[in-house]
Structure 1
Amino acid sequence: MAFQLLHKKSYHLLVRRNFGFAVVLAISALMLFGCSVKQPVPEDGFDRAIEFKRDAPYNRPYQVNGKRYYPLVNPNGYKERGIASWYGAESGNRTAMGVKFNPDGLSAAHKTLPLPSRVKVTNLQNGRSIILVVNDRGPFAKNRLIDLSKGAAKAIGVKGLVEVEVEYIGEYAGSNR
Structure 2
Amino acid sequence: MKLSAKTVFTAAVLAFASAGTTVATTDIVSAASASGGHASYYGKRFHGRTTANGETFNMNAMTAAHKTLPFGTKVKVTNRNNGKSVVVRINDRGPFIRGRVIDLSQGAASKIGMVKSGTANVKIDIL
Would you call these one fold, judging by a TM-score over 0.5?
yes
Give the TM-score, by structure 1 length.
0.54
Match in the other structure for 1:83: 38
The offset of 1:53, in angstroms, is 8.1
Gaps of 5+ in 1: 1-50, 55-72, 170-177
- Return the alpha-carbon distance in structure 2 between the equivalents of residues 76 and 128 of structure 1: 24
Match in the other structure for 2:16: none
For the aligned residue pairs, the C-alpha RMSD in angstroms reads 1.9
Give the TM-score, by structure 2 length.
0.74
Pair 1:109–1:103, CA change in 2 (3 A): same
Aligned length: 101
Match in the other structure for 1:136: 92
Counting only pairs closer than 5 Å after superposition, residues 37-52 of structure 1 correspond to structure 2 as: 52=2
Q: Are the equivalent residues in 2 in contact too, given 1:104–1:150 (CA < 8 A)?
A: yes
SS in 2 for 1:114: coil
- Return the alpha-carbon distance in structure 1 between the equivalents of residues 83 and 40 of structure 2: 16
Structure 1 stretches of 4+ with a deviation exceeding 2 A read: 51-54
Counting only pairs closer than 5 Å after superposition, residues 1-177 of structure 1 correspond to structure 2 as: 52=2, 73-74=8-9, 76-77=29-30, 78=32, 79-88=34-43, 89-159=45-115, 160-169=118-127
Pair 1:76–1:114, CA change in 2 (3 A): farther
SS in 1 for 2:46: coil
Higher relative contact order (CA 8 A, sep 6+): 2
Q: Deviations over 1:123-161 (max 9, x none)?
A: 000000011101110001110000000000000101211
- Return the alpha-carbon distance in structure 2 between the equivalents of residues 135 and 105 of structure 1: 11
- Return the alpha-carbon distance in structure 2 between the equivalents of residues 154 and 148 of structure 1: 9
